[in-house]
Amino acid sequence: MSQDLEYIPLEDAKCLATDILLAAGLSEGHAEAIAKSVVSAQRDECFSHGLWRLLGCVATVSKGKVDPKAVPAIDASAPGIVKVDAKFGFSLLAFREGLPDLIGKANRFGIAAMAINHCYHFSALWPEIEEITEAGLVALAMTPSHSWVAPAGGKKPVFGTNPIAFGWPRPASNPFVFDFATSAAARGEIELHRRAGKPIPLGWAIDSDGNDTADATKAMEGAMLTFGGHKGSALSAMIELMAGPLIADMTSAESMAFDEGAGVAPCHGEIIIALDPKVFLGSGMEQNMRRAEDMFAAITSQGARLPSQRRYEARARNESRGIPVQTSLLEELKSTLAS
Ligand code: NDP
Ligand code: PYC
């Protein structure tokens, strides 16, 4: 597959993504919410959750799994909880619809959680985290996926690639944000290696006989591995529990069974927790936010980088020069409009 890159204006990328999603049959709300996420990821050079994901969205719709026009229903009746039933639509519109209540409750009670249920989920979590830090809140989000990942010490998939993301608002800088899969790499990374015909690093996955593999196809047929051995494994289990049974939604294994071999986006829940430092700290807000800045300075002053720094640099670069897209991917995306 050609790795040649083209740089396309941000607005063109948004229009292309929206057109593809509308042509696939998604409602305007879903198309806008999805386009915003995948274009942001492409802009920030997070390619595993960028424009390429549109192909998966189109397949998820064409296989009749997702409701492309689902209207999320919000229940904000409990004090610190917002429940959003995505009604088997994609997750991003449900997040957008529930966000004002999540922020309002966090401002009021100091802490609030949003449970999104019955959603097809394929996106990076940091765009959601950034929307919460923009409101001055600390944020934590997590979600299961499909059971592709073996627990540490085992060889059979139980967990999803289960991302966890955290954000801390900073008065004079981009927020501190990290967002990573609890597998050694996101499945999207392995898929991109497969598409490019490249080997994957050892330690990411085992083949179906339980042997280490650098072959992306064999890795996808076998089992992925957790990051950090038992530590990633325990975090992954926590995510299954927090965004599964705690919110009465599917685990990654249940999502895989629900898929019935269609091979489309996972369907499950997501939990997002927001904390308002103003409520925790009151008059101590400024002083304590300064202490956080001291910690960031202790990291960066020795040449270490903060998570998301690479992403923010890519954003600054690409907002003016256009966002990088592989020529072959661009052609593949445009061809979905012709079919
Ligand atoms: P990466 O391993 O690429 O990066 C994870 C995080 O670590 C990023 O915040 C990154 O910041 C930071 N980071 C990387 N290198 C360094 C470094 N040297 N020093 C400090 N920080 C660093 O992510 P993954 O492949 O694990 O995940 C990619 C994406 O996949 C995530 O956005 C995640 O949400 C998504 N995902 C979604 C799933 C879903 O079910 N919806 C499932 C699994 C993953 P930076 O970006 O600046 O490099
Ligand atoms: O890259 O692991 C992944 C993933 C799963 C669901 C969406 N992305």
Q: Please give the number of the atom of ligand 2 that sits closest to the Cα of 183.
A: 2
The mean of the pLDDT values for the chain is 97
Atom 6 (ligand 2): residue with closest C-alpha?
122
3 has pLDDT over 90: no
Q: Extract the tokens encoding 198.
A: 């490249």
Q: Extract the tokens encoding 305.
A: 């980088």
Identify the residues whose C-beta falls under 6 Å from ligand 2: 48, 122, 145, 161, 181, 186-188, 266
Compute the distance between CA of residue 39 and CA of residue 52 in angstroms, rounded to an integer: 10
Choice among 189, 240, 254, 270 that is catalytic: 189
Which residue do the tokens 């057109």 mark?
19
Report domain 1-62+308-339's class: mainly alpha
DSSP per position, 15-51 = HHHHHHHHHHT--HHHHHHHHHHHHHHHHTT-GGGST
CA 89 and chain centroid, separation: 16
Helix/strand/coil percentages in the chain, nearest 5: 45, 20, 35
Tell me which CATH code domain 72-183+226-306 carries: 3.30.1370.60
Of 102, 46, 151, the closest CA to residue 274 belongs to: 102
Distance (angstroms) between ligand 2 centre and the Cα of 313 equals 24
Confirm whether 1-62+308-339 and 72-183+226-306 share one CATH topology.
no
Sign of the CA dihedral with 281 first, then 287, 290, and 294 last: negative
339 has pLDDT over 80: no
1 has pLDDT over 60: no
Q: Please give the number of the atom of ligand 1 that sits closest to the Cα of 311.
A: 47
Q: Kindly state if the Cβ of 90 falls inside 6 Å of ligand 1.
A: no
Distance (angstroms) between ligand 2 centre and the Cα of 280 equals 34
Q: Are strands 111-120 and 81-90 parallel, antiparallel or unpaired?
A: parallel
Q: Kindly state if the Cβ of 189 falls inside 6 Å of ligand 1.
A: yes
Q: Kindly state if the Cβ of 186 falls inside 6 Å of ligand 1.
A: yes
Choice among 30, 32, 40, 48 that is catalytic: 48
Compute the distance between CA of residue 329 and CA of residue 215 in angstroms, rounded to an integer: 22
* 324 phi-psi bin (left φ>0, alpha ψ -120 to 50, beta other): beta
Task: Give the confidence band of 338 by pLDDT, cuts at 50, 70, 90.
Answer: confident
Q: Kindly state if the Cβ of 124 falls inside 6 Å of ligand 1.
A: yes
- Measured CA to CA in angstroms, residue 158 lies from 124, 145, 257, 258 at distances of 21, 11, 12, 14
Domain ranges of the chain: 1-62+308-339, 72-183+226-306
Helices (H), the chain: 10-24, 28-43, 53-62, 91-109, 126-133, 187-196, 216-221, 230-242, 252-259, 277-281, 285-300, 309-321, 327-338
* Crossing angle for the helix pair 10-24 and 53-62, to the nearest 10 degrees: 10
Length of the chain: 339
SS3 label, residue 142: strand
| Catalytic residue flag (residue 48) | yes
Query: What digits encode the pLDDT tens for the residues 152-194?
Result: 999 999 999 999 999 999 999 999 999 999 999 999 999 999 9
Task: Give the confidence band of 2 by pLDDT, cuts at 50, 70, 90.
Answer: low
ipTM greater than 0.90: yes
**DSSP conformational letter for 245:** G
Q: Extract the tokens encoding 124.
A: 């990076």
| Catalytic residue flag (residue 11) | no
Compute the distance between CA of residue 61 and CA of residue 67 in angstroms, rounded to an integer: 7
Query: What digits encode the pLDDT tens for the residues 19-75?
Result: 999 999 999 999 999 999 999 999 999 999 999 999 999 999 999 999 999 999 999
- Cα angle at 273 between 271 and 274, to 5 degrees? 150
